[in-house]
């Protein structure tokens, strides 16, 4: 491939991209990145006001987007969104399963309700998204690209987040298992496994209920993360969005069943 063509292959002009969890953090940054590279971003989130805010930001920047309410744990809703996007937009080329939640607590005391809740969103929600997107993409001449959010927590377990890590490890296997089935139809399935990124999910440790930041608590959380990371830094949502954009684009046309690890080097697998 010529150099100019190679650079252009990172663009996603004219593609339709669904991003779950697009109201915040990594999902929001991914929607902005995909739209910035030319895609129409369907910004989906259980918090529809935040999904709409991301879409509004994209449109204000001159891009194409819409915000939609979606609970990824409700299969019929995920299927309905996929069908509606096909009807309205003519297809789905990129689907990013980024929505996720965290539950914490010691393994030996984990309540069944917590386990069910996180499995429903972080594992079944990704499964439903993969199925809904995959069923559309296998029928399209141009195929498609699915990107799932795993986590460094699956590579390097930490205490008190076993159920979260189990989901993220399951996402890796789901990605590989699906990839071997749909590759011949031109559908690629990959995952990103981010290290620690400052978002709503991780901000819960130090963002007070009124939205202000407890800086001492922030340093108590982030300081050790930095020190234990070879690059001595934590990530920003855009660091993960860059990997999502690459996997979504034709630049990654030979990549499937893979896990990209923008994690500062905290896990090397
Ligand atoms: N932040 C990190 O350090 C980190 C590290 C590794 C992996 N991840 C993963 O990246 C993904 C995004 O996390 P983030 O840090 O941006 O978190 P975030 O909390 O900032 O964003 C998650 C978004 O998902 C949405 N969401 C939650 N449940 C949903 C549901 N049932 N249906 C639809 N949307 C739902 C939330 O409303 C929120 O907007 C998650 O899957 C997370 O596990 C995050």
Does one domain contain both 36 and 99? yes
The dihedral through the CA atoms of 60, 64, 69, 71 has a sign that is negative
Range of the domain at 191: 3-197+236-256
Per-residue pLDDT of 58-108, as tens digits, reads 999 999 999 999 999 999 999 999 999 999 999 999 999 999 999 999 999
Closest ligand 1 atom to 164 CA: 43
Quick one: which atom of ligand 1 is closest to the CA of 235?
3
Are 141 and 18 part of one and the same domain?
Answer: yes
Task: Map tokens 């939205």 to a residue.
Answer: 211
Residue 201's SS3 state is helix
Domain for residue 268, yes or no? Answer: no
On whether both 205 and 121 belong to a single domain, the answer is no
Handedness of CA 230, 236, 237, 241 (dihedral sign): negative
- If one counts every other C-beta atom within 10 angstroms of the C-beta of residue 178, the result is 22
Residues 38 and 153 in one domain: yes
Model confidence over 16-66: pLDDT tens digits?
999 999 999 999 999 999 999 999 999 999 999 999 999 999 999 999 999
Separation of alpha carbons 122 and 166, rounded Å:
10
Same domain, residue pair 67 and 154: yes
Structure tokens at 73: 């744990």
Active site residues: 164
Residue 174 lies in a domain: yes
Q: Which residues pair with 67 in a beta bridge?
A: 43
- C-alpha to C-alpha distance for 60 and 66, rounded to whole angstroms: 12
Residues 119, 148, single domain; the answer is: yes
The reply to whether 266 falls in a domain is no
The yes-or-no verdict on residue 242 having pLDDT over 90 is yes
Task: Give residue 22 CA to ligand 1 midpoint distance, Å.
Answer: 9
Structure confidence at residue 4 (pLDDT):
77
Q: Tell me: pLDDT of 204 over 90.
A: no
pLDDT tens digits for 157-192?
Answer: 999 999 999 999 999 999 999 999 999 999 999 999
100 vs 178: CA distance, rounded Å: 20
Count of structural domains, the chain: 2
Q: Where would I find the H helices in the chain?
A: 3-8, 25-36, 48-60, 75-89, 112-118, 125-137, 152-155, 162-182, 200-203, 215-227, 237-248
- Identify whether 128 is part of a domain: yes
The whole-angstrom separation of Cα 164 and Cα 104 is 8
Q: Mean pLDDT over all residues of the chain? A: 97
Give the distance (Å) from ligand 1 centre to CA of residue 21.
Answer: 6
SS3 of 76, please? helix
Distance CA 169, CA 176 (A): 11
156 and 63 fall within a common domain: yes
> Quick check: 45 and 51 in contact, CB under 8 A?
yes
Select from 264, 200, 268, 269 the least CA-distant residue to 226. Answer: 264
Q: How confident is the model at residue 228 (pLDDT cuts 50, 70, 90)?
A: very high
- What is the per-residue pLDDT for 189? 99
Ligand 1 centre distance from Cα of residue 200 (Å): 8
pLDDT over 70, % of the chain: 100
* Portion of the chain with pLDDT greater than 90, in percent: 97
Q: Which atom of ligand 1 is nearest to the CA of 168?
A: 43
Report CA torsion sign: 11, 16, 22, 26.
Answer: negative
Ligand 1 contacts (CB < 6 A) are 20-21, 23-27, 45-47, 50, 70-73, 98-101, 121, 125, 149, 151, 194, 196-197, 199-202
Q: Are residues 170 and 184 in the same domain?
A: yes
Q: Which atom of ligand 1 is nearest to the CA of 202?
A: 1
Q: From ligand 1's centre to the CA of 27, what distance in Å?
A: 7
Residue 1 has pLDDT above 90, yes or no: no
Beta bridge mates, 66: 42
Nearest CA to ligand 1 atom 23: 21
With contact defined as beta carbons under 8 Å apart, do 128 and 51 qualify?
A: no
Same domain, 224 and 186: no
Chain position carrying tokens 């189990």: 166
């Amino acid at each position: 491939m010529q150099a100019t063509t190679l650079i252009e292959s990172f663009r996603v002009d004219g593609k339709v991209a669904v991003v779950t969890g697009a109201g915040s953090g990594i999902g929001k940054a991914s929607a902005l990145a995909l739209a910035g590279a030319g895609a129409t971003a369907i910004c989906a989130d259980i918090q529809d006001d935040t999904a709409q805010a991301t879409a509004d930001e994209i449109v204000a920047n001159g891009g194409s987007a819409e915000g939609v309410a979606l609970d990824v744990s409700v299969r019929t809703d995920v299927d309905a969104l996929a069908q509606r996007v096909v009807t309205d937009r003519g297809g789905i080329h990129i689907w990013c399963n980024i929505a996720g939640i965290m539950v914490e607590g010691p393994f030996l005391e984990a309540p069944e309700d917590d386990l069910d809740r996180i499995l429903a969103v972080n594992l079944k929600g990704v499964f439903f998204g993969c199925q809904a997107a995959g069923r559309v993409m296998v029928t399209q001449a141009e195929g498609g690209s699915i990107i799932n959010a795993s986590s460094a927590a699956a590579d390097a377990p930490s205490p008190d987040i076993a159920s979260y890590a189990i989901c993220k490890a399951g996402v890796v296997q789901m990605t590989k298992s699906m990839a071997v089935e749909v590759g011949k139809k031109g559908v690629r399935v990959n995952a990103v496994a981010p290290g620690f990124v400052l978002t709503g999910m991780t901000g819960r440790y130090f963002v007070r209920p009124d939205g202000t930041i407890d800086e001492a608590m922030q340093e108590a959380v982030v300081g050790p993360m930095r020190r234990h990371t070879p690059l001595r830094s934590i990530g920003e949502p855009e660091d993960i969005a860059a990997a999502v954009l690459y996997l979504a684009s034709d630049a990654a046309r030979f990549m499937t069943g893979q896990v990209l690890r923008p994690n500062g080097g905290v896990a090397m697998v």
